[in-house]
Each structure stands twice: as structure tokens, then as C-alpha cells.
Amino acid sequence: MKHFPSIFLSLLLPLAVAAQSVQIQDGAIRAEFSVSDSTKVYFSQGNLQYQASTNTWRFAEHQWDYVGTQTPDENGYYGGTINGSDNANISETYEGWIDLFGWGTSGYNGKNPYMTSTSYSDYGDGSNDIAGTNYDWGVYNKVSNGGNQAGMWRTLTSSEWNYLISGRAQANRLMGHGRVNNVNGLILLPDSWATETPSSVRFTYDPGNYSTNVYSLDEWAVMQSYGTVFLPAAGYRNGTGVNYVGSYGYYWSSSANDSNFAYYPFFYSNDAYTNYYGSRVNGLSVRLVQDVK
């Protein structure tokens, strides 16, 4: 298991202005992120969500969005104060949306996204990885606002998450904790950031505090125009109980550890970890990617 040391690092990156803003096309933020020496990906515009009553998959409208009952602040913005999570209503007939899924619950072979079973063997495909298989949410399903065709997306492997966060060139300078629209989360900067940094936004990289980088909606619009990715701290689900919403972020990889566990990265206000593994029965967030061709 690898983790970032809890030390404060600060850098005001070069203030060059990019010639053209990054676009979102069929749900993909068209900025390149290296996940191995030879592979680059585009991230989806938001976390994956599912509605059981209509069997519909979609990406969250905004990167900071996650399912849950939230209280608006004095400016009418949502986030920060969480009263509870609607993921607790998970069922095969639920008319709302959920976004915390047991491992490999794409709907293929009876592994459904609304599963709350506590049996390890009910999830995924034995001790096999789900990478490149129909157990992967992005491989098996059409995403309604993500091109609406099966096979367009995939889940990062554990080694790819690790490379992205701690292995690519200047990795420690391309990651930081932050708060967007009052929502806590982890910020990932694209490979091009050092040469295309927006002049109007300051970014501090440090693995240790959500209040380090706080962005209004206008400021975040500038950040996102340069391809910045935000992973909200949406907590996790165990059965119908939801924990750590707003303070911890847990994101599935497509890599199995054994028949009981699977790998995932997670973060909280003081640190971020990769190559961690835990129970497949827990519901974690899913953020899909596309390979850059």
C-alpha cells in the first residue's frame, strides 16, 4: 500500500494561458491523464449514477455531484452539510438515483447495481479482475449522457490509479485536496497543466486538507476549462447504511485482490492512498474513463 506523506507542499505553477478550453464531448472531459507509460485516458464528466426503476445509467451533471440529501448554504449552493444519503434507499424498484455500488455490479450475469448482499461470492467473477469484461460498468452498459452505447467506457485498474496519483511525471504536483461548491474532494490535474495553467486561478498541491484549494463556481469553471478532474468525497455504503459522506472518498478499481476483496484508492482530509483493498460487498463510487486513441 502506498500513501502520500502528510507534509505541506506549495507551488504556484507557470501562468501560461492555453489557446483553447477543454471541451466535454459525450460525457468525456477531453483532457489527457497518463495512467501508465503508454496509456492516457479521458475522465467522465462526473461519477456514475443508476436509476433502478428505469434501468438507466448516467454521469452526474457536475463533477462535485453525489447522491445524498444536502442542505444549501446562505448563497443557495449545495454541499458541505449532509443530512443523510439517498443511497440508503437502494432497491431494484427505487425511483431515485444511487451512486455507491458493490464491486462488479454492472448488471451482467445477475450482478445488479442495487445489490446489498453481504456474501462476497455474489460480487464480480470469482478471484478474476473485471477489467475488460462485462462486469465492468463502462464495458457492459450504455451511459445515457455518455455516448449511449455499450463499450465506450471502462474502470481504471489498481495499477493505473496508482500510476495516475503517484507514478506519472510530477505526480505529486498534479494532485491536491480541495473544496468545490462547498463539496470536499480530491483534485487531479491533467498532464498538460504545467504548460497550460490558467492565469486567474492559484493551485496548491498538498496531500492534507480540504480547505487548501477552495473554489467558487466561477473559479471552478476556469479550472475545469483546463481539464481538471474533481472526485467528490461521497463516502461508502454497507448494506443500506451509508458512512463518511462528505469526508471520505472511495473509488473502485477493476482489479481483484482475491475472491473476497478488490482494490480501490481512497482519500480523506489528511491523506490519500492507493493500492488499498477491501470488501466487495461495500458500495463505493465509480468514475469511468475512455482511452485516448
Residue with cell 480501490: 264
pLDDT tens-digit series, residues 135-159: 999 999 999 999 999 999 999 999 9
Q: How many domains does the chain have?
A: 1
pLDDT at 185: 95
The pLDDT of 171-194, averaged and rounded, is 93
Structural domain boundaries, residue 12: 2-291
- Using CA atoms, how far residue 281 sits from 49, 142, 181, in Å, is 18, 24, 31
What pLDDT sits at residue 83?
A: 62
The residue type of 257 is N
What is the pTM (predicted TM-score) of this model? 0.90
Q: How close are the terminal C-alpha atoms of the chain, in Å?
A: 31
Torsions phi, psi for 64 (to 5 deg): -85, -5
Q: In the prediction, which pLDDT does 71 show?
A: 66
**Containing H/E element for 228?**
none
Is the pLDDT at 131 greater than 90, yes or no?
yes
- The string of pLDDT tens digits covering residues 200-211 is 778 998 767 899
**Summary mean pLDDT of the chain:** 89
